[in-house]
A and B are shown apart, each in its own frame.
Chain A
Amino acid sequence: EAQVTQNPRYLITVTGKKLTVTCSQNMNHEYMSWYRQDPGLGLRQIYYSMNVEVTDKGDVPEGYKVSRKEKRNFPLILESPSPNQTSLYFCASLSLGTGGNTIYFGEGSWLTVV
């Protein structure tokens, strides 16, 4: 079964304490991406990766880092979380083949920074 798996699903943390949200996909997709969803703002892209060792900023990259050392994993790193990073985060992946751009999402990670 095609899956995008995120962990943790729920996390409450304190300002400044580094955290990592993991993302793994089992579809051998080249492209992976992180989005955050906030009320009234929809889905905004944080970072994306076209392939291993290839990452680029999305619309709202400030305060985040990513890495893509292997194809299946794309962790999101918050080096020093702040309360404005309280949000619902989605990891996504898709194949860059000729079939189109159907993107698969994980179930989301609720992050609260206090």
Chain B
Amino acid sequence: DQQVKQNSPSLSVQEGRISILNCDYTNSMFDYFLWYKKYPAEGPTFLISISSIKDKNEDGRFTVFLNKSAKHLSLHIVPSQPGDSAVYFCAASARYGGSQGNLIFGKGTKLSVKP
């Protein structure tokens, strides 16, 4: 049973437009959410995070939105650039639960930004 779901395996966007990557979760104990970016042949790198006490966190071109009632979060990239082409993983954890530190990952969404 998947606790973190990224239902779109791939997404293609034109350069300069907005990329929206979606993530749903089922465990109501999750209180911290992260997005990771992964290029081929490299390890995932941290992109942006959000705590459950917030509904939005912004860092440059990247914004993460959290809708706790819907158990949904999304990553917005504006404007999208060809260098953003990568696989994006959503991850969640319950920092104050029994498995503190245990990150659960979604399956990833491959973003392609076309010039």
**Residues of A bordering B, CB below 8 Å:** 4, 30-31, 33, 35, 40-45, 48, 50, 58, 90, 94, 96, 100-108
Min CB distance, B95 to chain A, in Å? 6
Q: How close is B35's CB to chain A, nearest CB, in angstroms?
A: 11
Residues of B within 8 A of A (CB): 6, 9, 32, 34, 36, 41-46, 49, 51, 89, 91, 93, 95, 100-108
| Interfacial chain A residues near B89, Cβ < 8 Å | 42-43
Are B101 and A94 in contact, with the CB atoms below 8 A?
yes
Q: Tell me whether B102 and A100 are in contact (CB under 8 A).
A: no
Q: Which residues of B contact A44 (CB under 8 A)?
A: 105
Q: Which of B9, B49, B93, B101 has the most CB of A within 10 A?
A: B101
CB contacts (< 8 Å) of B6 on chain A: these are: 42
Q: How far is the CA of A50 from the CA of B89 in the complex (A)?
A: 23
Contact B43 A107 (CB under 8 A): yes
Q: Cβ of B93: which chain A residues have Cβ within 8 Å of it?
A: 101
CB pair B106 A101 closer than 8 Å? no
B45 CB contacts on chain A under 8 angstroms: 105
Question: Once bound together, how far apart are the Cα atoms of A73 and B93, in whole Å?
Answer: 23
Q: A103 and B106: CB pair below 8 A?
A: no
Q: Which 7 A-B pairs have the closest CB atoms?
A: A42-B107, A105-B43, A43-B105, A31-B101, A107-B43, A42-B108, A105-B44
Please give, as numbers and ranges, the residues of chain B lying within 8 Å of A96 by CB-CB distance.
100-101
Contacts of B102 in A (CB 8 A): 33, 45, 48, 58
Contact (Cβ within 8 A) A90 B43: yes
The chain B residue sitting closest to A29, CB to CB, is B101
Q: Which one of B44, B46, B104 contacts A90 once the chains associate, using CB atoms below 8 Å?
A: B44
CB distance from B43 to the nearest CB of A (A): 4
What chain A residues lie within 8 Å of B51 (beta carbons)? Answer: 100
